[in-house]
């Protein structure tokens, strides 16, 4: 029995791109002790594949983290299967705010050491001892208190295009960098109320527990993250404290939560919040690029990459073999505009 994808990714992407079938994008997570992650992974793949699920799922001893899309016509069948798993029975499913059905084009289920890489090796740390969960109304109320500290537990490229009012947005590339940094930043404010948020809630489960472990007295987290917050404010007519877009880790790259554009094109500086990957697949840098710069630079991050994409495919393949690109994500705090930075291209 084959329990992995065997079709070319390019073909799969074209298939989804041309499909008119309605699909529903969903994310969910659960911290739970899974005794045999490989077996659980194979079981999931068998049933998810049969249900035509696409997306990315991580399984570890500590639980499951999933971002997927399901054919809408099979959504109830999917829920029936998912809820038949005892520790996932009744789990909250975060439904996408903006959904074109093109979020994923293949199914990948992987076994990992952790579902969220945190870099924490301390055996005394208990990630289940998390902070108080807040709904959207409670979040709005507590963050109206000037004494409350709001912390964005996402990476810099996520918060750059959208974040909550008055939030601290650490300039980091990874969650493992962020945990000790936030503790250090707030070390003199351990008696203040601290509210943490992320995309769907999974990172804040650990982050809030981490702050409590380090002596913070009053720690809260936004239940369901930005995705659930956006849903609740729409359904209940609540004031929206989120400015800009919510970055998502699929083909869409972002969902609009408010109409404000708070970011800027990394090449010309104009107001823009559209993330793209450099058209040079050997570079693949994630950065913000406006429409004008996309046309001017042929969807590339630099003049060097513009040169590479003019080469014959065989020459590009050879170049990709010999050029390891270290910087995969544009860092707003550590390097200048992408048009002024590049990796040297040689033929």
Contact present, 281 and 310 (Cβ < 8 Å): no
Contact present, 273 and 311 (Cβ < 8 Å): no
- The pTM of the full predicted model, rounded to 2 decimals, is 0.88
- Reported as a pLDDT band with limits 50, 70 and 90, residue 7 is low
Query: What share of residues in the chain are helix, strand, coil (percent, to 5)?
Result: 30, 20, 50
Mean pLDDT of 305-334: 78
The span from the CA of 258 to the CA of 142, in Å, is 21
- Reported as a pLDDT band with limits 50, 70 and 90, residue 59 is very high
- If we measure between CA atoms, which residue out of 29, 92, 128 comes closest to residue 228? 92
The span from the CA of 299 to the CA of 280, in Å, is 8
- Reported as a pLDDT band with limits 50, 70 and 90, residue 325 is low
Question: The tokens 């708070």 sit on which residue?
Answer: 262
Show which residues are catalytic: 198
Residues whose CB is less than 8 angstroms from the CB of residue 64 and which lie 6 or more positions away in sequence, other chains included: 28, 29, 30, 32, 34, 40, 57, 58, 88, 115
How many residues does the structure list for the chain?
A: 347
Distances in whole angstroms, Cα of residue 314 to Cα of each of 26, 72, 283, 287, 305: 39, 41, 16, 26, 16
8-state DSSP, 185: H
Give the relative orientation of helices 175-185 and 202-213 as an angle to the nearest 10 degrees: 40
Mean pLDDT of 315-332: 73
Mean pLDDT of 127-146: 96
Contact present, 99 and 25 (Cβ < 8 Å): yes
Please say if the pLDDT value at position 339 is more than 50.
no
What is the b/e burial string over 309-328, where b = at least 16 CB atoms within 10 angstroms of the residue's CB? Answer: beeeeeebeebbeeeeeebe
User: What is the reported pLDDT for 1?
Assistant: 61
| Tens digit of each residue's pLDDT (9 = 90 or more) over 269-305 | 999 999 999 999 888 899 999 999 999 999 999 999 9
Q: Return the structure tokens found at 292.
A: 């004008």
Structural domains in the chain plus CATH codes: 9-111 (3.30.70.100), 132-236 (3.40.250.10), 275-340 (no CATH)
Distances in whole angstroms, Cα of residue 286 to Cα of each of 242, 256, 261, 307, 336: 23, 19, 18, 18, 14
């Amino acid at each position: 029995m084959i329990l992995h994808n065997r079709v070319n990714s390019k073909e799969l992407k074209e298939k989804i791109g041309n499909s008119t079938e309605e699909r529903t994008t969903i994310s969910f997570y659960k911290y739970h002790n899974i005794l045999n992650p490989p077996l659980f992974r194979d079981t999931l793949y068998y049933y998810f594949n049969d249900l035509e699920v696409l997306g990315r799922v991580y399984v570890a001893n500590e639980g499951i983290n999933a971002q997927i899309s399901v054919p809408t016509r099979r959504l109830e069948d999917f829920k029936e299967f998912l809820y038949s798993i005892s520790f996932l029975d009744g789990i909250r499913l975060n439904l996408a705010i903006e959904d074109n059905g093109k979020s994923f084009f293949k199914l990948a289920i992987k076994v990992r050491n952790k579902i969220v890489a945190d870099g924490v090796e301390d055996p005394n740390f208990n990630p289940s001892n998390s902070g108080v969960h807040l709904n959207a109304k409670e979040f709005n109320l507590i963050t109206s208190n000037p004494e409350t500290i709001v912390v964005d537990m996402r990476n810099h490229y996520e918060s750059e295009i959208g974040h909550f009012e008055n939030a601290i947005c650490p300039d980091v590339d990874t969650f493992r960098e962020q945990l000790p940094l936030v503790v250090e930043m707030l070390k003199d404010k351990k008696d203040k109320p601290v509210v943490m948020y992320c995309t769907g809630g999974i990172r804040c489960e650990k982050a809030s527990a981490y702050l409590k472990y380090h002596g913070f007295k009053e720690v809260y987290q936004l239940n369901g993250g930005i995705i659930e917050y956006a849903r609740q404010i729409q359904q209940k007519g609540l004031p929206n404290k989120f400015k800009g877009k919510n970055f998502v880790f699929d083909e869409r790259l972002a969902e609009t939560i408010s109409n404000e554009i708070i970011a800027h094109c990394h090449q010309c500086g104009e107001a823009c919040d559209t993330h793209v990957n450099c058209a040079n697949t050997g570079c693949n840098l994630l950065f913000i690029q406006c429409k004008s710069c996309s046309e001017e630079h042929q969807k590339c991050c630099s003049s060097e990459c513009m040169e590479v994409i003019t080469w014959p495919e065989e020459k590009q393949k050879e170049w990709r073999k010999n050029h390891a690109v270290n910087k995969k994500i544009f860092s707003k705090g550590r390097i200048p505009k992408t048009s002024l930075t590049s990796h040297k291209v040689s033929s």
